[in-house]
């Protein structure tokens, strides 16, 4: 259900943004850097991890859709890892955020 809502909202976001604006900022292809921040807390110890991923030749709308898809995928993965750890009796929590920035 979550994936269906994500896909629907991404399609709607793409449709709205492409129909609302005809400015060059929306249609110009750019290179993007996605910064992935993952914080894992286990036994009161916080372990932050920052990684980056580059994607080239995407419009603003495509980049935002890619960011949302990546963040959703990583959050689903993190939730699976938390559930597996809890099944083993461990207390763990994970947060994932993905931000995008234009790469010059």
34 against 23, higher pLDDT: 34
Output the pLDDT for position 67: 96
Report the SS3 class of residue 1.
coil
Residues 16 and 8: their CA atoms lie apart, in Å, by 12
Output the pLDDT for position 10: 74
Do you know the residue count of the chain? 104
Q: Facing residues of 36 across strands?
A: 51, 98
Report the SS3 class of residue 32.
strand
Output the pLDDT for position 9: 73
pLDDT, tens digit, for every residue of 59-81? Answer: 999 999 999 999 999 999 999 99
Q: C-alpha dihedral over 15, 67, 53, 22, to 10 degrees?
A: 30
Say how many Å lie between the first and final Cα of the chain, rounded: 38
């Amino acid at each position: 259900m979550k994936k269906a809502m994500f896909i629907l909202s991404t399609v709607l976001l793409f449709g709205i943004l492409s129909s609302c604006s005809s400015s060059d900022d929306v249609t110009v292809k750019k290179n993007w850097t996605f910064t992935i921040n993952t914080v894992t807390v286990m036994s009161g110890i916080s372990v932050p991890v920052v990684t980056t991923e580059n994607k080239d030749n995407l419009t603003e709308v495509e980049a935002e859709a890619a960011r949302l898809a990546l963040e959703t995928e990583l959050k689903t993965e993190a939730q699976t890892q938390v559930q597996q750890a809890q099944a083993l009796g461990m207390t763990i929590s994970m947060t994932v955020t993905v931000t995008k920035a234009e790469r010059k």
